[in-house]
Amino acid sequence: MTSITLEFDGLPPEAAKCAACIDRLGERLQGVVGISSVVMAKDRREVVLALHETAEPKRVEAAARKIMSEVADGYVHDALRIGGMDCPSCASEIEGSLKDIDGVVSASVDFPAARLFVEYELGKVGLPDIQNQVRRLGFSAQKLSDPAKDDSATQVVPLALGGVLWVVGALAPESAKPILYSAATVVSGWRMIVPGLICLRNLKFSTNTLMTVAVIGALSIGEWSEAAAVAWLFALGNFLQARTMNRTRTAVKSLIDSAPRIATIRKNGERREVEIQEVIEGDLIEVKPFAIIPVDGDVVEGNSFVNTSSLTGESEPVWAAPGSEVLAGGVAEGGFLLVRAKGSFTDSTYSKMLELIERGQSARAPQQEMIDRVTAWYTPAVLIGALLLGITLPLLAFRTWEQGLHQAFWLLMVACPCALVISIPVAAVTAIGAASRLGAMVKGAVFLEALPKVKNWAFDKTGTLT
């Protein structure tokens, strides 16, 4: 049987990384006359088309390529920087809320990278609508092109003010305690309560839902101090988790930020500095001593040792002279080089390496998938258990109403799965970032998990492991 293999590189750039577009591509290819089956090999980023015996391969391939080029027509792809996420359940809440909007085709939140990737139909919904929906949940949403804002104040100020109100409530007269404790609960727990109530309204159960029900229940039975304590401690835990995740993101971001931003081009005897994205094939690039080579190319003039250890693993610098090939990311150690670009920065080895780092920190490990499946059932199970303790057992006279309600709310308070949910992403991203700083490029958490099963290691003469 004849088959045709097409790479995802033939897709528009905005569709190549969009799962919804790739699924839509598979559906549309199924309708092409002459194609008997379509296999989407997402891991290899290609699609394999099996043809009928009577099909004309050239005609089928032309039709398939046309569909690939048009698969994103009528749809808009945007990426936003999300601030204020404390744990993966926040990412799930954002995804669920956005998917309920008419016109939103897909929404995926990359928690480790704090990114939202959304696809929506042109004319039905706009980016401001999506940003407003995210903000209603208590998170910030910025375009990647906008300067990053420090949202730490939105966590520190409520946490500090809530703590003060809690302490003042403990020292206040009995008549003032309910007001002060309630204020402490709302101030320190608003980032939990708002998304928790929205999820509860939509019958979607998350960690915030558990804690919101517990806090409101504690307030309803007069446990003012306990409600304030739970809200404040939960906010403190989320703040510490967010700090841990931000340190990890910063470590990986520092590697990505080390990429060259500016290139010096020589043209018609003049020198000018341009953004790295403006460099095209054939441009003459000046590389000063101890500067990073911005793009892959061939040396036209000058000579220097070039340190490529971060790219090739070669510990010793290599000699570059006219005619030598040099790679982006290499450092010219001591000499001046004039390099003719062989392509743009996005085509360079260094750019692809950075893309591997970004993909690696976002890739989900099998253990993370397992935890997600468990928590999808765990949260509703805890709520059912709380209902049994708080309502069913008192109705059957196995508990008094006071005992049942107190035990139900205690269960909700201690059963929060945040530590379990955040454990794998933090460990994986931290390990990938640390490995990257040491020159080891890890494609994803799934490969980290496979390392304990490796029995033999093979290194080349430079000590490089591939």
What residues are annotated to the active site?
460
Residues with Cβ < 8 Å from 119, sequence gap 6 or more? 18, 20, 21, 75, 76, 77, 104, 105, 106, 107
Residue in 355, 348, 337 with CA at minimum distance from that of residue 45 = 355
Give dist(CA 388, CA 394) in Å, integer: 9
> Could you tell me the two tokens for 241?
């988790």
> Could you tell me the two tokens for 225?
């101090």
Give dist(CA 366, CA 447) in Å, integer: 10
CA dihedral (386, 388, 393, 399) in degrees, to 10, reads -10
Stretch (H or E) spanning 185: helix 177-201
Beta strands in 206-317 (DSSP E): 262-267, 270-275, 284-287, 297-302, 304-307
Count the Cβ atoms, other than its own, within 10 Å of residue 42. 12
Secondary structure (DSSP) of 233-254: HHHHHHHHHHHHHHHHHHHHHH
| CA diameter of the chain | 93
Stretch (H or E) spanning 121: strand 115-121
